[in-house]
Amino acid sequence: MPAPLFALVLSVFGLGTAESVIAGLLPQLSTDLGVSLSQAGLLVSGYAVTVVVGGPLVTLLTSRLPRRPLLIGLLVLFTAGNLAAALAPGYGTLMAARVASALAHCTMFAIALVTASEIAGPAKSGSAVARIIIGVNLSTILGVPLGLMLAQQWTWRATFWGVTLLSLAALVAVVVLVPRTAAAPSGGVSAEFGVLRDRRVLVALLMTVVAMTGGFGAFTFLTPVLQDVSGFGPQAVTVLLFLFGLGSLAGGALGGKLADRALLGSLTVFLGLLTLVLLVFAAVASHPVATVPALIAFSVLFFALNPGLGARILNSAAGRAPTLAVSMSIASVQAAIAAGSWLGGRVLDAGFGLPAVFTAGSLLTCAGGVIAWWEWRGERRAAVPHLHAPATPAPATPGGRTAAHSTDSQGV
């Protein structure tokens, strides 16, 4: 991996760890801070809401700043937020520290994706996005377990100290490794908003929300399905979730390579296959042996979508001002996480059972696949206009016959 991309991956690894690890700290936080478990849970949802609402706003307000210094400044803010969380004397201070970190999240992630894409070039944007997303996947596989281990060994504060040190390492890596020429300013608010008027960008955002809502709806209830329907014990579920994480790495790498070759085509195929896998998972969830390959296929196909969806946004805004569009894409994924959880909850409240959550998710991934196929079909038609243009009449000869007719007659 090129050194600048390594620095960006390390930054995203810190983002993903800080965002996700707190879910496992809620019991400790509730006891130590003297708040209810539901109040502690607001530390999770408060972060997500800040990313969705505040992230694009921060992107707009900083749109005229050079991206490398901006990335460094956001890393400083993110590090300071985690340091404040480690030192927080009470619940209110911890919530404020989480909000400060979340304000840096969306724009940091967007700049990392844009910078990686510009370093790699348009032909390799899918692979560049895949490499950045590796940081998110690794945060799930390595960052979160290590953070929880620190909390179990000491306290939840040790976890935030660990994230603070990780953020400092990322800050140093960006300062040293990311070139000063990488990712110039975007051109301001008007240029950023102008990209959002592009139909391809809007359709890509719609596709992201629809497809990711279906996938995250199933993912949110994966552990309850494995335990209550498939019958796996806690230790077996831990192993299966680790396999799921490994599958996410494989899916990201596969999705990046195929996005470089046929972006919309690969998204159409992945979403079609993911739809089938979710339906199969719902059908075989009560059979443990059949559940394992369905689980691995789910992880590979679901995470194979990320590089293509990100590259579609970047390529649609190429040469203009893509940062807000990418920021909106990141915010839309956060919104999809919340919407997927809500959708699964409504399915369960209606009494359909846990496997039905996967069936409901498959309807949305299918809709996302239809959107990808429609865009793919339109671009293929646009690439070969001569096949669809009306035939041009051949010029007439002096005798009144067309040139084509005259030639045919001479041939006969």
How is domain 1-185 classified at the CATH fold level?
Growth Hormone; Chain: A; (1.20.1250)
Q: In the Cβ-directed half-sphere of 60, how many Cα atoms lie within 13 Å? A: 12
**CA 365 from centroid of its chain's CA atoms:** 15
Task: Tell me how crowded residue 367 is: count the other CB atoms within 10 A of its CB.
Answer: 18
Q: How far apart are CA 107 and CA 56, in angstroms?
A: 7
Instruction: Output the pTM of the full model.
Output: 0.75
| Ranges of residues in the chain whose predicted pLDDT is under 70 | 1, 121-123, 125, 181-195, 317-321, 383-412
Q: In the Cβ-directed half-sphere of 336, how many Cα atoms lie within 13 Å? A: 24
Question: What residue ranges of the chain are covered by domains with CATH 1.20.1250.20?
Answer: 1-185, 186-384
pLDDT one-digit tens code per residue, 177-234:
888 765 555 555 666 666 677 788 888 889 999 999 999 888 878 888 888 889 888 7
How is domain 186-384 classified at the CATH fold level?
Growth Hormone; Chain: A; (1.20.1250)
DSSP state of 389: S
* DSSP string across 13-75: HHHHHHHHHGGGGHHHHHHHHT--HHHHHHHHHHHHHHHHHHHHHHHHHTTTS-HHHHHHHHH
Query: Minimal CA–CA distance to 28: which of 144, 142, 157?
Result: 157
Q: How far apart are CA 262 and CA 377, in angstroms?
A: 12
- Give pLDDT, residue 334: 79
At 401, give phi and psi (nearest 5°): -90, 155
Query: Minimal CA–CA distance to 332: which of 106, 46, 3, 81?
Result: 106
Is the Cβ–Cβ distance between 110 and 313 less than 8 Å?
Answer: no
- Give pLDDT, residue 235: 81
Q: How far apart are CA 211 and CA 2, in angstroms?
A: 31
Is the Cβ–Cβ distance between 341 and 260 less than 8 Å?
Answer: no
Residue 119 corresponds to which tokens in the numbers above? 């370093």
